Amino acid sequence: MADRPVIRSMTGYGAGEETLADGTSIAVEIRTVNHRHLNVRVRLPRGWQRLEEGVVELVRSTLARGSVSVAVGCEGGGGEEPAPVLDLDRARHYAELMRALSRELASGEGDYRATVSLDALVRLPGVLAVSESAAPAVNEDALGRCVETALGGVVAMREAEGGRLESALRRSLREIGEMVAAIEAAAPARLLRERDRLRARVAILAERPEVDEERLAREIAYLAERWDIAEEIVRIRSHMALVADTMSADQETGEAGGPARVGKRLGFVVQEMSREANTIAAKANDAAISAAAVVVKEKLEVVREQLENVE
């Protein structure tokens, strides 16, 4: 869709709720924060664990990155919390095993005797459990609708926050572009000054018979090449254009039909821009250009931090 923003934050919240005919109320809350990858955690009512994979797939089909917490609740109707069931046979088996262990340890060196603690016994796997038949009734269609509604709220909040992030990113890019233009404008004058200074020194040295004028001319050309930052300026502007084009493009889709991971792509491009800025600073040999390059690096660091919360 052309009107969907490309930039989406990874911070979001959404909720969905539905009341069924028998009075059962299903509620879903989804919270997301930034994360390098997509990390989904689902909390379901007891007995609903088999539905976790379906909930995760719904999240994956909508979100590309972020730490996602999904909480599902069920109340009323057939959805009250079921009472646990005691498995007596399993409890007796555990108790006998513990008594046998106590006898075995007591028959060895030393005097070791232990009693079977009920508190420890009921904590063993399967002694107290909720049977599938006693679990809250599951309406998978209703649960899916609630999850989709909550995801819609998450996406809406992410896109609203993404719009604010995009405005900040565009403002930072404009400021970086202005600094790059200032560096480009100052570069020729710097080369001319350095050329004139070297020529003056060569003129003094050339009066000496041992001076190799051809070699000095080569040194001047070599220094001029070392100070040339035209390629770095071209590359950093190319990267800026790529960032702008990415933010202006229609929403794309990524793996399995999910949204594209624009944040990772932009983060890589900004990293390359930082490398070019470092090279410009190293080649500057001019106080004004060095200062401008430092400002560019600082603004790129701000952009990098902003991109950490972009999906």
Based on the fold, state whether residues 47 and 178 are members of the same structural domain: no
Based on the fold, state whether residues 116 and 254 are members of the same structural domain: no
Write out pLDDT tens, residues 65-101. Answer: 999 999 999 886 544 555 677 888 888 888 888 888 8
**What's the N-to-C CA distance of the chain in angstroms?**
17
Q: Give the pLDDT band (50/70/90) at residue 29.
A: very high
Based on the fold, state whether residues 204 and 303 are members of the same structural domain: yes
Number of domains in the chain: 3
pLDDT of residue 283: 86
**Token pair listed for 151:** 């995801």
pLDDT of residue 181: 93
Based on the fold, state whether residues 227 and 278 are members of the same structural domain: yes
Bigger pLDDT: 259 vs 40: 40
Based on the fold, state whether residues 173 and 283 are members of the same structural domain: yes
Instruction: Tally Cβ neighbours within 10 Å of residue 95.
Output: 15
Domain of residue 71, CATH code:
3.30.230
| 18 in any annotated domain | yes
Show the domain range for 32: 12-81+135-152
Q: b vs e for 232-246, b when ≥16 Cβ sit within 10 Å of the residue's Cβ?
A: bbeebbebbeebeeb
Residues paired with 25 in a beta bridge: 19, 75
pTM score = 0.67
Give me the mean pLDDT over the 128-141 stretch. 67
| 36 in any annotated domain | yes
| 270 in any annotated domain | yes
| 1 in any annotated domain | no
Based on the fold, state whether residues 106 and 140 are members of the same structural domain: no
SS3 state at 250 = coil
| 283 in any annotated domain | yes
Q: Give the pLDDT band (50/70/90) at residue 207.
A: low
| 94 in any annotated domain | yes
Based on the fold, state whether residues 146 and 181 are members of the same structural domain: no
Residue 16's nearest CA partner among 153, 137, 161 is: 153
Based on the fold, state whether residues 298 and 284 are members of the same structural domain: yes
Based on the fold, state whether residues 50 and 68 are members of the same structural domain: yes
| 90 in any annotated domain | yes
Based on the fold, state whether residues 125 and 242 are members of the same structural domain: no
Average model confidence (pLDDT) across the chain: 82
DSSP 280: H
Based on the fold, state whether residues 100 and 146 are members of the same structural domain: no
| 232 in any annotated domain | yes
